[in-house]
Structure 1
Amino acid sequence: MSISEKRKTDSQFMERFEHFAFDEVISEKDQSLDTPTRWLAIIATLIGCGGQEAYRDLLPKALDDGLNPVAIKETVYQSVDYLGMGRMWPFLDITNEIFSSKNIPVASYGEATTTEENRLEKGAEAQAEIFGEHMKDAWKAGHINRWLAANCFGDYYTRTGLDLAQREMITFCFLAAQGGCEPQLIAHAKGNMNMGNNADFLKRVVSQCLPYIGYPRSLNAITSIEKASKE
């Protein structure tokens, strides 16, 4: 059921929800984001919480408001590392359906910059740029760490279409939205800060995404930001 249909079946609820999400939250003093950044955070959050129908309803609005299709596709691709293919797959299908309906080419937009031969090296370099030089050898701790460097960072973070600061922001949104990932959320809050996404920025991201994930996970995200700031 679409948003317009819900306005008919649940008019009072929709009136309050839309006022909160699309007016009050957006216009809250000192909590705003530029429109493309806000939509990028929201679509990452919807993917992170598994909100398929909300994603289907809101993705066209994000496109109409100027969010780049490249950024959308790259966000969906990167989510596979934090959600797994089982939860990411439907969002790729929905994205392609909506792109087709809007006559946007569905073929991949961003491009890989690594090869099978250098993905581990380049992934470790990306980790080190985000988290510090000590990460250059973190892959040696075991095969999962090696996969993390080569696959998560080497295959996806190094792609064109989003810069490292944007990729860290969407990762923060994936983690905050799914909940139960607070150790990783704190680590990626630090990574965001290292990329220039300071605590104030991250709190604004949480504020703009709160209508889509609720208060408990939003408050946990704020606590993680504050812990990262202190550490």
Structure 2
Amino acid sequence: MKELFSKFGRIQKNDLEFHEIFENFAFGEVYDYSTLTEKESILATLASLIACQSPKAFKKILSAALDMDLAPEEAKELLYQSVPYVGFGRAHNFFGIIIKVFEAKGIDLPLLPERSNTTPENRHQKGRELQEKFFGAEYIQNMNDNAPDGQEHFNRFLEGFCFGDFYTRDGLDDQLREFITFVLIVSLGSCENQLRAHTQANLNVGNDKEKLVSAITVIMPYIGFPKTLKGLAIVNDVCG
């Protein structure tokens, strides 16, 4: 994975001391304690950089990752998946970065296959089905039943927009989408209720505690110790 950090030539040229410290930790020691695949590590890193608002680092690592094991379609779907969680205000600049990196690589983004599996008529139904798969039908029904008066529409947004429009897409399987969501929420910080729910959802779709701890391990250099320790505390509490 050190080839990813080799793209940060300006740091290496002008501050070799920091470059060596960070490279040895973030692209060396950290991986001694992770069981993620190379692709999972790349997706986790890129997702964290979106949530942390690090467009320059994202661009450099994306460019290197496309020469490794990351498919253009997976990069596109990673960004799509981020929108309901970080918001379009944060994700907006990264669409431009992907376009520029793809153009430099000779990848024609408009020619990538469309991966939507819903229509305006069935997006809520399809979204609800996935919500129930990830969280359980009883959990979702209770959430809807207990919505405060005048705020029921936010649950409809979750059902149709978040899950109907995005989770139903091809290009990433359920495990990877929920894994990416977990990374985004940990990286955002201060989203404890959502992190608890999505930690359990990861378990429900087949991602185990070891994978979640490995994800936090890999992104720790980007999010810092406070968010890391808060994320680990919640994982330990939910997973036991």
TM value normalised by structure 2: 0.90
Written as runs of structure 1 = structure 2, the 5 A alignment for 1:67-216 is 67-107=70-110, 108-135=112-139, 137=141, 138-139=143-144, 141=147, 142-216=152-226
1:136 deviates by: 5.3
1:17 alignment partner AA? F
In the alignment, the residues of structure 2 paired with residue 139 and residue 65 of structure 1 have an alpha-carbon distance, to the nearest angstrom, of: 43
In the alignment, the residues of structure 2 paired with residue 198 and residue 129 of structure 1 have an alpha-carbon distance, to the nearest angstrom, of: 16
- Cα 1:73/1:50, change in 2 over 3 Å: same
1:135 deviates by: 4.8
Written as runs of structure 1 = structure 2, the 5 A alignment for 1:54-69 is 54-69=57-72
Could you say which residue in structure 1 is the equivalent of 2:29?
Answer: 24
- Cα 1:139/1:78, change in 2 over 3 Å: farther
Could you say which residue in structure 1 is the equivalent of 2:17?
Answer: 12
Contact 1:168 1:191 in 2 (8 A): yes
1:109 deviates by: 4.0
RMSD: 1.4
TM value normalised by structure 1: 0.94
Cα displacement string for residues 136-178 of structure 1 (whole angstroms, at most 9, x for unaligned residues): 5455641000110000000000001011111101101111111
- Cα 1:211/1:109, change in 2 over 3 Å: farther
1:110 deviates by: 4.6
In the alignment, the residues of structure 1 paired with residue 216 and residue 25 of structure 2 have an alpha-carbon distance, to the nearest angstrom, of: 15
1:32 deviates by: 2.8
Q: Secondary structure at the match of 2:115?
A: coil
Could you say which residue in structure 2 is the equivalent of 1:44?
Answer: 47
- Cα 1:114/1:139, change in 2 over 3 Å: farther
Structure 1 stretches lacking a partner, 5+ long:
none
Structure 2 stretches lacking a partner, 5+ long:
1-6
Aligned length: 227
1:53 is aligned to 2:56: yes
In the alignment, the residues of structure 2 paired with residue 190 and residue 109 of structure 1 have an alpha-carbon distance, to the nearest angstrom, of: 32
Contact 1:32 1:208 in 2 (8 A): no
Of 149-158 and 220-229, the range deviating more from structure 2 = 220-229
Q: 1:33 aligns with which of 23, 33, 36?
A: 36
